[in-house]
């Protein structure tokens, strides 16, 4: 056979060989996959299953057995430590991550990751100084952003507002600026300075708060308080009144102070009309009580009652109806009076139970207003007016 014929026949002869080789390679590959699957310990799947069932205790026990069989596994040790922390077993979490840190293989990114977990364990165990130290060290590496978020949370917890501001500024990016939080941190500083009658510092921090967030109603409230405390009542009226442009819902929180600032200038009537005007424009405001009390002082019982009744009819709610029944009691016949009084006390009890401030983020309810939600740690999430919950 000459060379040319071989050149034609060879590929045809070898075709089944190539086919067999491909088939064999595929089989070997499948075998490897199956072998690897079998090499994953059953405890790993059981732990995963427990996690799906939200049973962290069982998940931790199963995973601990797997770790005993494979003590060198970095990922398993890291995860098991996290599970211990979630269960509140901080000592075990600390020991686990500490041991992992001492392993000669834990270097570079792996070391940063373990340090980040260890710092969270310390934070969770209340050893905040140690946690802070580690988070500070992590600021130059890949975990910098996460570490700064934890540092910001630690500084808020410690009420160290200057450091919280510094951290929030470092975290600020175009897509997430933290201006909202920064304004609140400056407000905390302003509030503390005002409490000590340190007016210049209070004014400086109010200005910084408004620079960070010009819609910050709290900054205007504090500014109004500063002006009133220093006897600048016209400026106080201006500061409180500007909340109407920032976020009118917060006007109920300054209603009485605004009136007092007018009254200090001998302009009681003007102050009262401003409050009535607010409620006519924004019926959701909770100003009915202050309006009634001030009307009673200035105009007497009949006119005060008339104003209050008109406002309640405009937007009837539990608080308004409670006030309305109180106003109407004196005009009622004795036969009606006892029943109306009973209805009023039932409404009064219901008011206590179901009319509250509520966090818009986590729905935490309270009779007291918070700027910083104690349940979810978000700022300015509480409804400025009590609502039926």
| Site residues (vs Zn ion, CB under 5 A) | 359, 361-362, 364, 373, 375-376
For the bound state, the minimum distance from the C-beta of residue 380 to Zn ion, rounded and expressed in Å, comes to: 11
| d(C-alpha 27, C-alpha 71), whole Å | 32
**373 appears as a binding residue in the annotation:** yes
Contact of 312 with 304, CB cutoff 8 Å: no
Residue with tokens 């207003």: 369
- 187 is known to lie in a ligand binding site: no
Residue 359 marked in a binding site? yes
Q: What is the spatial distance between Cα 144 and Cα 139, in angstroms, rounded to a whole number?
A: 4
Extract the tokens encoding 149. Answer: 């978020």
CB of 354 to Zn ion, least distance (A): 19
The minimum distance between CB 381 and Zn ion, in angstroms, equals 5
The residue (of 135 and 364) whose beta carbon lies closer to Zn ion is 364
Which CB, 25 or 376, lies closer to Zn ion?
Answer: 376
Query: Residue 355 pairs with which residues in a beta bridge?
Result: 388
Cβ proximity to Zn ion: between 188 and 260 the closer is 188
Residue 153 or 361: which CB sits closer to Zn ion? 361
d(CA 93, CA 81): 4
Contact assessment for residue 202 and residue 226, using Cβ atoms and an 8 Å cutoff: yes
* DSSP 3-state of 121: helix
List, in order, residues 6 or more apart from 131 with CB less than 8 Å away. 119, 120, 122, 123, 150, 154
216 is in an annotated binding site: no
For the bound state, the minimum distance from the C-beta of residue 215 to Zn ion, rounded and expressed in Å, comes to 20
Q: Which is nearer to Zn ion, 33 or 362 (CB)?
A: 362
Q: Residue 360 CB, nearest distance to Zn ion (Å)?
A: 8
Contact predicate 249/384, CB 8 Å: yes
Phi, psi (degrees; rounded to nearest 5) at 366:
-160, 150
Annotated binding residues for Fe cation, written as ranges, equal 359, 362, 373, 376
Annotated binding residues, written as ranges, equal 359, 362, 373, 376
């Amino acid at each position: 056979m000459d060379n040319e014929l071989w050149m034609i026949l060879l590929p045809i002869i070898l075709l089944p060989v190539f086919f067999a080789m491909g088939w064999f390679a595929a089989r070997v590959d499948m075998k490897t996959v199956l072998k690897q699957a079998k090499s994953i310990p059953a405890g790993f799947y059981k732990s995963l299953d427990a996690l799906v069932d939200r049973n962290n205790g069982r998940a931790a026990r199963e995973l601990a057995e797997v770790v005993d069989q494979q003590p060198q596994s970095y990922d398993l040790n890291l995860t098991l430590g996290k599970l211990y922390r979630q269960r509140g077993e901080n000592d075990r979490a600390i020991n686990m991550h500490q041991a992992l840190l001492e392993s000669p293989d834990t270097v570079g990114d792996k070391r940063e990751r373990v340090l980040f977990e260890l710092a969270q364990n310390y934070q969770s165990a209340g050893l905040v100084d140690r946690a802070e130290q580690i988070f500070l060290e992590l600021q130059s590496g890949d975990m910098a952003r996460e570490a700064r978020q934890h540092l910001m949370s630690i500084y808020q917890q410690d009420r160290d507002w200057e450091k919280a501001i510094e951290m929030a500024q470092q975290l600020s990016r175009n897509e997430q600026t933290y201006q909202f939080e920064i304004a609140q941190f400056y407000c905390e500083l302003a509030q503390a300075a005002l409490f000590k009658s340190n007016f210049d510092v209070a004014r400086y921090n109010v200005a910084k708060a408004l620079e960070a967030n010009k819609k910050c109603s709290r900054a205007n409230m504090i500014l109004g308080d500063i002006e009133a405390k220093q006897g600048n009542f016209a400026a106080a009226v201006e500061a409180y009144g500007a909340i109407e442009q920032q976020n009118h819902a917060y006007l109920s929180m300054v209603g009485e102070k605004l009136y007092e600032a007018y009254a200090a200038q001998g302009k009681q009537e003007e102050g009262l009309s401003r409050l009535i005007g607010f409620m006519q424009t924004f019926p959701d405001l909770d100003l009915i009580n202050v309006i009634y009390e001030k009307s009673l002082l200035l105009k007497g019982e009949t006119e005060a009652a008339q104003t209050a009744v008109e406002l309640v009819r405009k937007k009837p709610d539990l608080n308004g109806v409670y006030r309305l029944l109180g106003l109407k009691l004196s005009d009622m016949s004795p036969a009606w009076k006892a029943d109306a009084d009973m209805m009023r006390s039932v409404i009064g009890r219901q008011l206590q139970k179901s009319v509250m401030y509520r966090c818009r983020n986590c729905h935490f309810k309270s009779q007291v207003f918070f700027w910083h939600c104690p349940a979810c740690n978000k700022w300015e999430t509480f409804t400025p007016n009590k609502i039926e919950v």
